Amino acid sequence: MLEDTPTPFPQHILLTPGPTPIHPRAQRALLREMLGHMDPEVFALNREIQADLREMYGTAPETFTALLAGTGSLGMEAGFANLVEPGDEVLVCVNGSFGARMAEMAARYGARVRQVTAPLGEAINPADVAAQLGRASLVAVVHGETSTGVLNPLPEIADVVRQSGALLTVDAVTTAGMEPFQMQAWGIDYVYTGAQKCLSAPPGLAPVAISDRALARHAARRTPTPLWYCDFGGLRDYWVDQSYHHTVPVNLHYAFHAALRAALEEGLSARQARVQNVSQAILAALAPLGFTPYVTDRAARLPTVLALRLPAGFDDAAIRGALRAREISVTGGLGPTAGLIWRLGLMGEAARPAPYRALMTALEDLLGERGLVSRFDEALNAVPA
């Protein structure tokens, strides 16, 4: 909520795996006066955004970065549209809904798609990727699978792919900005996220980074990029040459810049500590009720999306509906896990004690249980300073 600004809207507690609560600095930035997308001040802002994205993604010094005017799904699609041509062999890692979306998109752009899979709730095995690489020209993987709360072993997968010479495209929607990410060191060629996830900016922008290898692959295309809007060449026209391609959402750029700068100023280690502390407190509060981690392998748990298996007899729809009536949003399972799990967002501004303390207070009332708030606070207080 804006400081000293009255609002007719009730305060809402957003605990979903995206979007996340907007950072106050981003909220204020939305209110600035409109400037044209070709204004020198906007181009100066864009240069700062590009530099900050290089820091967040851990890129080489001159790696091309940009904001796509769309959500993370546009970031996903832009990668396949620019780097895949009909008949190309593409290997997609699938262990949840967003890996499956990658496979569908690649196929729509004419790729011959093969999949390396893992059961829901389990991570992709790098050895399986190595065994199925074949002649793939591109490999695609979701770093943090939002639908199940699984963290895939990206550095190990990237090492396998790098040895093959294939390009690697990565969905970092629930990791970039909250978890370690090293594009240059790991050998990643294309990465995207969504502004509304770990950075707590408004939805509507997909921050991307594109390696020189990926740009060379794009330049050598046999056919024009079928997605004109996000053609890498057109993006470079605007972001590098400052020539017109399409109108960008200027105020979203200002809000994103504010949110990203706030994240970088806080520092990755501090952000990771926030996530870990709140996550431990949630588990301490809910475990006596029968909530258990959906991902059994601790190493494969995605810190930013806490997936919890619901207790036997728990009325998922009714409880989440009652919470929504109290202005608290919690997300259930997706597809096969609907009614089976809750997915609690621990990204950006959601990864703070206050909103989850409010959840515990509401659950005490709705479930007729006591002790959730005290267990939550005790776990927080037990964390070393």
Phi, psi at 192, each rounded to 5°: -145, 160
Q: What is the percent of the chain where pLDDT is above 70?
A: 97
Following CA atoms 236, 237, 239, 241 in sequence, which dihedral angle do they give, to the nearest 10 degrees?
Answer: 120
For residue 187, what are its two tokens? Answer: 């050998």
pLDDT of residue 2: 44
pLDDT of 1 strictly over 70? no
- Helical ranges in the chain per DSSP H: 24-29, 40-57, 72-83, 97-108, 126-132, 154-164, 183-186, 212-219, 232-239, 250-266, 268-286, 316-325, 353-367, 372-381
Burial group, residue 338, by CB count within 10 angstroms (0-12, 13-18, 19+): exposed
Angle, helix 212-219 to helix 72-83, in steps of 10 degrees? 50
Q: What is the mean pLDDT of residues 106-111?
A: 98
Q: Yes or no: say if 111 and 90 are a contact pair by the CB < 8 Å rule.
A: yes
Alpha-carbon distances of 163 from 36, 58, 126, 208, rounded to whole Å: 45, 20, 12, 24
Closest listed residue to residue 200, CA positions, set 163, 174, 162 = 174
pTM for this prediction: 0.95
For residue 364, what are its two tokens? Answer: 């005490």
What's the chain's Rg over C-alpha atoms?
Answer: 21
341 has which bridge partners?
Answer: 309
Tell me the pLDDT tens digit for each residue of 336-357. Answer: 999 999 999 999 999 999 999 9
Tell me what the pLDDT averaged over the chain comes to. Answer: 96
pLDDT of residue 383: 66
Using the 8-state DSSP alphabet, how is residue 289 labeled?
G
For residue 334, what are its two tokens? Answer: 């997706």
Helix (H, G, I), strand (E, B) or coil at 60: coil
Tell me the pLDDT tens digit for each residue of 131-160. Answer: 999 999 999 999 999 999 999 999 999 999
pLDDT of 82 strictly over 80? yes
With DSSP H G I counted as helix, E B as strand and the rest as coil, what are the percentages for the chain, rounded to 5?
45, 15, 40
Q: What is the mean pLDDT of residues 16-45?
A: 97
pLDDT of 334 strictly over 60? yes
pLDDT of 333 strictly over 70? yes
pLDDT of residue 382: 84
Q: What is the distance of C-alpha 336 from the center of its chain? A: 21
Tell me the pLDDT tens digit for each residue of 242-279. Answer: 999 999 999 999 999 999 999 999 999 999 999 999 99
Q: What is the mean pLDDT of residues 312-333?
A: 97
Closest listed residue to residue 22, CA positions, set 207, 263, 327 = 263
Write down all domains in the chain, each with its CATH number in brackets: 13-18+267-381 (3.90.1150.10), 29-264 (3.40.640.10)
Alpha-carbon distances of 232 from 12, 91, 308, rounded to whole Å: 38, 22, 39
Pairwise CA distance, residues 234 & 239, whole Å: 9
Closest listed residue to residue 229, CA positions, set 247, 256, 241, 213 = 247
On whether 343 is known to bind a ligand per the annotation, the reply is yes
Pairwise CA distance, residues 201 & 28, whole Å: 11
Pairwise CA distance, residues 277 & 274, whole Å: 5
Tell me the pLDDT tens digit for each residue of 194-223. Answer: 999 999 999 999 999 999 999 999 999 999
Is residue 206 within a helix (H) or strand (E), and if so which, with residue range? strand 206-210
